[in-house]
Structure 1
Amino acid sequence: MITEPAQAPQRILITGGRAPVALEWARLLHRNGHQVYVAESSRYHLCRVSSAVLESFEVPPPRQQPQAYLTALKQLIIQYQIYLLIPTCEEIFYIAEGLEELQSYCRVLTPNINTLHDLHHKGKFIEQVIASHLAVPLTFPVEDPSIDFYDYAMPDQAGNTFVRKPVYSRFASKVIMPWESRRSTAQTKQDTKTTISTTTEITAINNSSESSGWIAQQYIKGKAICTYSIVHQGIVIAHATYTSHYRTSRTGASVYFEAIEHQQAYKWVCQFVQHLSVDDPKQSDEAFSGQISFDFIEEASTGLLYPIECNPRATSGIHLFQQQDVLVQAVIDPDSFVQRGQVIMPEPGTARVLTLPMWVAGFKYNRRRQDWRDWWKSLQQATDVVYHKDDRKPLWEQFRLVIQAYLTSRTQRISITEAFTYDIEWNGKENV
């Protein structure tokens, strides 16, 4: 592992160039004088045409060709003398599988694959939260909904209803809310004389078929809260808490992000990452380092935070640091921030928006005149994530991305949302 101190300017390689978060990283790094390279398996992507990127490379798809993907990254790292590799999307899991070799050539902003898996898997994540002595929603394994015998829209003996979701998913894909049950209440009452017993301890997920596993999770009424943090050796050095009132669907990906001050969420993240060790069978346990994000529900009646899932990678919270160049210093030289006890946070009220899907969300869900007024006010006060006056080409590239995703969805018979991540998503060991 390379440990020499960073000297500016550095050569940085970013992966996942299709994502707005990758474009954000590229612009932040470029503005601070670093040389930015991007490796991406998608033919069209936002970073490909960005003026912040020195050079972009098309590499094999990690999901379909994992070894060829790692080989290509290794060659780029060696050829361009890369100092730091920053994964941004789910290609991070494939990079982590080759971490031992890659980190012998440069710093890689990811923990090992075992740690990533336990955070990405929605059931195992809840197990870790319990181990950290933090509250969790009732969570337990269930059968695939197509063969499930119990209607989780019906309250249990304590009055709880449940959301069903795959243990591996993104953008709330395939999530079944309690009110979306296919079975009627009357039929359920007739068919289910047997009741289920829920406890605060999650039952182990059936590991024999991890990629097709499902969980049921207690539905909690309240406000959605998201966080994004950069952690070094178990210490949070950058943190954003934000809300989103607009999404691609009722439970889908956020398209509008507004920074808020939320000490409870910050303290929760600090407590969790301090208890989170990197389990490496070849080395002694060490503290977690990398990017990590959480989705919470803040219960309406008590204000208690319930974690829903973890994304151990970059998420939209990074957009809220747009005016804070010190974030780049934190990722280039994290040791100095730990030593000073410095934590970077965005200004509360900072708002960013993905304008194209924001318009789609508006036409899809706005029904009343007041809805449109609130929507327009939000749109006016937020800065677009993709457009920048000094870097305009990514604005038009996003239309190519949408067309490409549409064609993939037709070819693979999947949704357009799933098509965006078809070649990079990671669903456990049986991911292909």
Structure 2
Amino acid sequence: MNATPARRVLLTGARAPIALDLARQFAAAGWQVHTADSQPAHATSASGAVHCHHRVPPPRQQPAGFVQALARLCGQQAIDLLVPTCEEVFYLAHGRTQIPASTRVACMELPLLRQLHSKWAFLGLAASTGMRVPASQRVHDIDQARQWAGSRPLVLKPEFSRFGVQVRLYRNGLPANAPALDGRPWVAQALLTGQEICSYAVAERGRLLAHAAYRPGWRMARSASYYFDAVDNADILTQTRALVAALDYSGQIAFDWIVDADGRATVIECNPRGTSAIHLFAGSDALVQALCGQGEHCRTPTSAAAMLAPMMWLHGAPLALLRGQWRRWQHDHARAEDVLARGQDRRPRTGVLRDLAHYAASALRGNGDLRAASTADIEWDGQPLP
């Protein structure tokens, strides 16, 4: 008697550590895992969880070729489920009608994703569904920002951006010598005080199936974190459930929040894609079920913690010594699992060094710093797509 063929998943954005952890979760649940990226993605492709890694055209530079390549892969490999992890989701959403009907695509259509991706449009959408949002204004130059803000503490950020890049914080109000804006639309926002929390959810037709939230315990200055400490906040959960229900949402969605001393959460922006909270689902098939549109609502345990161990050593350790926080660093390091080397799957830790070398070489060729080089071919800033 022949065994039932394994279901097959294709994860795009394989360069991301979250793609590596998703690959492990799907493989543990009995799926055959394929990954795709326009970059080598050495860390993820080195994982024992990955059956095959496929190179595809860069979505930002070749959007049509990117979608066509995914469509061919889905047909040739009999892919049951296609899960985007990074900003390639927008290019996939634009061309999703080209994907074979036999493949489930875990994302919404582009017009809604654009609203969520826009740091200005999202606030209006969120407020309309009952979410708590900060006072904000869309501006095009520094004088508009100054006129709106007056002397109050202020955040300025491009309408479309990622990882906290180019965010400006003015805790004492906008100074007279504040640099001019660059011509793009920006969002001026009241600077809130409180704890920053990041959350992630998966929904199916408005029903919340999976939810996780974490405190970014260690991070680069005003940028992405590399330590993910699970937390539980009832207000975040309630507001998230209300938004996905109001939008009849399906797929992944994530938010950044500021939580005050009373536990009241104010949402400041949205990422309609995968985020690092995915690491907190390790060791369970709950997220796999959710991405298939199945299962009951699950939440990660608040005891969970995960980290990118190389960054904890290279950046976190020197920072802890400088700030006199060595004991805290030791405690945090001891209780978190390295997402690059879980269990017997250790090869990705070496692969990440090859990835870093690849992006460093790209940066030297003129693609900005290391972070910019790692996203130069997948970023989307709301521009029309062919």
Q: TM-score, normalised by structure 2?
A: 0.92
Equivalent residue runs for 1:51-130 within 5 Å: 51-102=48-99, 104-130=101-127
User: How far has the Cα of 1:155 moved from its partner?
Assistant: 9.9
Matched, 1:326 2:280: no
The corresponding residue for 1:167 is 159
Q: Which amino acid aligns with 2:109?
A: N
Shift of 1:370: 3.9
RMSD of aligned residue pairs (Cα, Å) = 2.4
Residues 9 and 33 of structure 1 are in contact (CA less than 8 Å); yes or no, is this contact kept in structure 2? Answer: yes
Instruction: State yes or no: 1:412 paired with 2:385.
Output: no
Residue 303 (str. 1) matches residue 263 (str. 2): yes
State the match for 1:259 in structure 2: 230
User: Structure 1 residues 134 and 184, CA, compared in 2 at 3 Å: closer, same or farther?
Assistant: closer
**Structure 1 residue aligned with 2:45:** 48
Match of 2:297, SS state, is coil
Does 2:335 match 1:378?
A: no
For residue 355 of structure 1, the aligned residue among 293, 299, 309 is: 309
Matched with 1:196 is none
State which of 166, 175, 189 in structure 2 corresponds to 1:217: 189
Query: What's 1:233 paired with?
Result: 205
Deviation at 1:275, TM superposition (A): 1.3
* Residue matched to 1:149: 143
Q: Which of the numbers 134, 157, 164 marks the counterpart of 2:131?
A: 134
In the TM superposition, residue 150 of structure 1 has moved relative to its aligned partner by: 6.2
CA spacing shift, 1:62–1:79, aligned 2, 3 Å: same
5+ long unaligned stretches in structure 2: none
- Looking at structure 1, the residues matched to 111 and 323 of structure 2 have their Cα atoms a distance apart, in angstroms, of 50
The residue identity in structure 2 corresponding to 1:107 is R
The answer as to 2:379 corresponding to 1:422 is no
Is the partner of 1:221 in helix, strand or coil?
coil
Q: Which moved more, 1:119-128 or 1:358-367?
A: 358-367
Mapped to 1, the partners of 2:211 and 2:149 lie a distance apart of 37
Equivalents in 1 of 2:90, 2:323: separation in Å? 44
In structure 1, which of residues 262, 265, 271 is the aligned counterpart of residue 242 of structure 2?
Answer: 271
Tell me the SS of whatever aligns to 2:298: coil
Unaligned runs of 5+ in 1: 1-6, 189-208, 277-286
Q: Which amino acid aligns with 2:353?
A: F
Aligned counterparts of 2:355 and 2:206: Cα–Cα separation in 1: 36
User: 3-state SS of the aligned residue for 2:375?
Assistant: coil
2:170 is aligned, of 151, 175, 178, to 178
Which whole-Å deviations, capped at 9, do the CAs of 1:123-162 have from their partners, x for residues lacking one? 0100101111222111111225xxx23675x9946x6311
In the alignment, the residues of structure 2 paired with residue 369 and residue 127 of structure 1 have an alpha-carbon distance, to the nearest angstrom, of 39
Distance 2:99 2:241 in 1: 28
TM-superposed deviation, 1:352: 0.3
Aligned mates of 2:63, 2:265 — CA distance in 1? 37
Aligned partner of 2:218 in structure 1 is 246
Q: Is the 8 A contact 1:226 1:293 kept in 2?
A: yes
Larger radius of gyration: 1
Q: Deviations over 1:288-331 (max 9, x none)?
A: 1001111000124x532111111111111111111212332332
**CA offsets 1:31-55 (integer angstroms, 9 cap, x no match):** 1111011111002432221111111
Q: Please name the residue that 1:197 is paired with.
A: none
- Over the matched positions of the two proteins, sequence identity in percent amounts to 34
The TM-score normalised by the length of structure 1 is 0.83
Q: 1:84 to 1:44 in 2, by over 3 A?
A: closer
Contact 1:241-1:260 at 8 Å conserved across structures: yes
